[in-house]
Amino acid sequence: FGSRPELRFLEDLGLQATNQGCYGGGEWRAGGKSVSSLSPASNQPIATVIEGSLEDYERSLKACESARESWMLTPAPKRGEIVRQIGDAFRKNLENLGRLISLEMGKILVEGIGEVQEVIDMCDFAVGLSRQLSGLILPSERPNHMMMEVWNPLGIVGVITAFNFPCAVLGWNACIALVCGNCVVWKGAPTTPLVSIATTKIIAGVLERNGLPGAIFTCICGGAEIGEAIAKDSRIPLVSFTGSSKVGQIVQCHVNSRFGKCLLELSGNNAIVVMDDADLSLAVRSVLFAAVGTAGQRCTTCRRLFVHQAIYKDFIEKLVTAYGQLKVGDPLKHDSLVGPLHSSQSKQAFEQGLEAIASQGGKFLTGGVGTTTSPGENYVTPSIVEISHDADVVKEELFGPLLYVFQFKTLDEAIAMNNSVPQGLSSSIFTKSHETIFKWIGPTGSDCGIVNVNIPTNGAEIGGAFGGEKATGGGREAGSDSWKQYMHRATCTINYGKTLPLAQGINFN
Ligand code: UN1
């Protein structure tokens, strides 16, 4: 990066002008096609990456198979110590890696750094967990017997992640998978290979310094062919996939057909409900972050807003005013709040989406068709639209800063509209009424995996289980007891007596 001083920080992350995109069996080697990583802010190349080929995949998996046993047999707290060191290594690289995420993904710098912070927090969580992977001891109905649960590693866990969280989602999965005793095989998004490589170098450095086999962690940059190889590979008992519902369904079919397990984190179509007793200033700020943060490219982005009719006019006016003050611009400049969309394809899809909205009767209150002028750049104008809640476009996830707004009269009506889409990831209500809160989080409330009160739909903490229902795929990642999915539960009944009493009182003599 000699001639580009603004890119010199990439050298501190171990990146060069051309990079090998496969770390397998402890070695960097790649024989796939050569791709340019583009900066979403300019569509200019940052660096070149040689992707991993299917041969690289096979070689890496063979190495993983031979490393698997020694890692499974390493005591969990010792594995936790390795993850603690990985957390420290991320701490040292917080600024640089956060800057690379901003540069290559296009999110604003504070969000790029926040993403690395999420990985550090996951490491801390996983270190604690490494001493708490405990099973139950259960009373046996038979004399001189005891029953217990033993949690064992699965062996190898496949992780396929998306461009919008090129580092954090790997962290949610890898930190837990590693302390649970699994080797990790990771494929990041094809458009964020530099983040994949830099992240892997941080992890690989810790493995190497501890004299551990590099094959405990594998990274393969590549496209759908590598994803398909992971999904079809019966050496990989669990595949964790983050991406669209459409692709998730294909992955699930491949994994199910070989009786593997899938952890799916798919599309969202998240709503915020603003009741007439809400703190409106809190709600406006929350809707703003939820709808335009990360330029609307989080799976937890708020895409639908339901406002009580008594405050609708006032609230929408406040929101439109707030949109008017948004600074859209270079994600690396500290006054920008909204960066570009991730790629020219993302921008094209967004613009086509706006046209479909207009053709289905949508009325733009701000932004909309033709408001984005600079061709050749991926910036778009955050838009708000009024439309009928059962229009076809409202059922789909348009990945960008687009917010549909609707009025409602009763809480029941708002809940019904919240639950009326195929997806079920995140939701939030703004109210001061405890009656409303408990209805919202109860059996006849929101049908989502994330059900918030007085906070945005996005920005979830790692301590909770993250994921959603219906077309969102049903998976739960990160905190709480998500770790159980990364292990296999053995129910062990032990007879320490000399007789053979059978369960259910069966006499078999
Ligand atoms: C995603 O968009 O895929 O809750 C993940 C949030 C983040 C993670 C989003 N912690 O918005």
Cα–ligand 1 centroid distance for 299 (angstroms): 6
Question: According to the model, what pLDDT value does residue 375 have?
Answer: 65
CA pair distance 373, 350, nearest whole angstrom: 14
Maximum pairwise Cα distance, the chain = 86
Mean pLDDT of 3-14: 95
Task: Give the CA-trace dihedral at 434, 409, 300, 230, to 10 degrees.
Answer: 110
Describe the chain by its helix, strand, coil percentages, rounded to 5.
40, 20, 40
Q: Among the atoms of ligand 1, which is closest to the Cα of residue 450?
A: 4
Q: How far is the CA of 298 from the centre of ligand 1 (A)?
A: 6
Residue 396 corresponds to which tokens in the numbers above?
């789909």
Ligand 1 center–CA 164 separation, angstroms:
9
Both tokens of residue 358? 């207009």
How many CA atoms does the CB half-sphere of 390 hold within 13 Å? Answer: 1
pLDDT surpassing 80 at residue 292: yes
For 144-179, the pLDDT digits (tens) are: 999 999 999 999 999 999 999 999 999 999 999 999
Q: Probe ligand 1: pick from 298, 397, 457, max atoms within 8 Å of CB? A: 298
Q: What are 338's two structure tokens?
A: 């909204």
Mean pLDDT of 391-413: 97
Q: For tokens 């009580």, name the residue.
A: 308
Is the pLDDT at 3 greater than 90? The verdict is: no
Helices and strands, number each (H, E), in the chain: 14, 24
CA of 459 to the centre of ligand 1 (A): 6
Burial 248-274 (b: 16+ CB within 10 A, else e): bebbbebbeeeebbbbbbbbbbbbbbb
Nearest to 332 by CA among 42, 82, 71: 42
The C-alpha angle 31, 35, 39, rounded to 5 degrees, equals 145
Q: Which numbered atom of ligand 1 lies nearest the CA of 458?
A: 11
Dihedral class, residue 253 (left if φ above 0, else alpha if ψ from -120 to 50, else beta):
alpha
Note the pTM of the prediction, 2 decimals.
Answer: 0.97
């707290």: which residue's tokens? 77
What is the spatial distance between Cα 112 and Cα 432, in angstroms, rounded to a whole number? 33
What is the pLDDT averaged over residues 252-277? 98
Measured in degrees and rounded to the nearest 5, phi and psi for residue 234 equal -75, -5
Question: Is the pLDDT assigned to residue 68 strictly greater than 80?
Answer: yes
Give the pairing of strands 183-187 and 156-160: parallel
Catalytic residue (choose from 104, 115, 118, 265): 265
Distance, in Å, from the CA atom of 444 to the CA atom of 413, rounded to the nearest integer, reads: 12
Active site residue 469: no
Q: Which residues pair with 34 in a beta bridge?
A: 50
Q: Is 223 exposed, middle or buried (0-12, 13-18, 19+ CB in 10 A)?
A: middle
Rounded-to-integer distance, Cα 457 and Cα 332, Å: 25
User: Which of left, alpha, beta for 259 (phi over 0: left; psi -120 to 50: alpha)?
Assistant: left
Which atom of ligand 1 lies nearest, measured to the CA of 168?
A: 8
147 forms beta bridges with 138, 493
Which of 300, 301, 451, 457 should be mutated for ligand 1, with most atoms under 8 A from CB?
300
The rounded distance, in Å, linking the Cα atoms of 176 and 132 is: 12
Return the structure tokens found at 40. Answer: 């979403």
CA 224 to chain centroid? 18
What is the 17 CA–ligand 1 centroid distance (Å)? 30
Contact call for residues 482 and 460 (beta carbons, < 8 A)? no
Cα Rg, the chain, nearest whole Å: 24
- List, for residues 431-458, the tens digit of each pLDDT value: 999 999 999 999 999 999 999 999 999 9
The rounded distance, in Å, linking the Cα atoms of 254 and 497 is 45
User: CA torsion sign, 329 to 330 to 333 to 337?
Assistant: positive
Angle made by CA atoms 281, 287, 288, in degrees to the nearest 5: 90
Number of the ligand 1 atom closest to the C-alpha atom of 426 = 4
Distance 282 CA to ligand 1 centre (A): 21
Report ipTM for this prediction.
0.95
For residue 58, how far is its CA from the centre of ligand 1 (angstroms)? 31
Burial of 409 (0-12, 13-18, 19+ CB in 10 A): exposed
pLDDT of residue 509: 86
197-253 confidence digits (pLDDT tens):
999 999 999 999 999 999 999 999 999 999 999 999 999 999 999 999 999 999 999
At 404, which amino acid appears?
Y
User: Does residue 14 sit in helix, strand or coil?
Assistant: coil
CA of 136 to the centre of ligand 1 (A): 32
Distance 195 CA to ligand 1 centre (A): 17
Tens of pLDDT along 341-378?
999 999 999 999 999 999 999 999 999 998 876 667 89
Provide the pLDDT for residue 1.
Answer: 87
**Partners of 175 in the β-ladder:** none
The candidate with the shortest Cα–Cα distance to 455, out of 278, 265, 277, is 278
Atom of ligand 1 nearest to the CA of 265: 3
pLDDT score for 408: 98
pLDDT at res. 2: 78
Note the Cα 501 to chain centre separation in Å.
49
Confidence grade of residue 97 (pLDDT, cut at 50, 70, 90)? very high
Distance of CA 108 to CAs 33, 250, 288, 315, 496, Å?
A: 30, 32, 15, 27, 61
Q: Are 144 and 496 in contact (CB under 8 A)?
A: yes
CB atoms within 10 A of CB 78: 11
Question: What is the pLDDT of the chain when averaged over all its residues?
Answer: 97
**Alpha-carbon distance values, 358 to 278, 282, 375, 395 (Å):** 31, 30, 21, 15
First and final CA of the chain: distance in angstroms? 80
Which one-letter DSSP state was computed for residue 243?
S
Closest CA to 164 of 224, 110, 271, 242: 242
Measured from CB, residues less than 6 Å from any atom of ligand 1 are 164-165, 169, 242, 298-300, 458-460
Query: Given ligand 1 and candidates 161, 165, 452, 455, which is best to mutate, with the most ligand atoms within 8 Å of its CB?
Result: 165
The two tokens of residue 107 are 């999110």
* Predicted pLDDT of residue 248: 98
Distance 297 CA to ligand 1 centre (A): 9
pLDDT > 70? residue 92:
yes
If you take atom 6 of ligand 1, which residue's CA is the nearest one? 459
Q: Which atom of ligand 1 is nearest to the CA of 268?
A: 2
* Model pLDDT for residues 100-150, shown as the tens digit of each residue: 999 999 999 999 999 999 999 999 999 999 999 999 999 999 999 999 999
335 has a pLDDT exceeding 80: yes
Shortest CA distance to 64 belongs to which of 194, 275, 213? 213
Give the model's pLDDT for residue 372.
Answer: 78
Residue nearest to atom 7 of ligand 1 (CA): 459
Alpha carbon distance 361, 445 (integer Å): 29
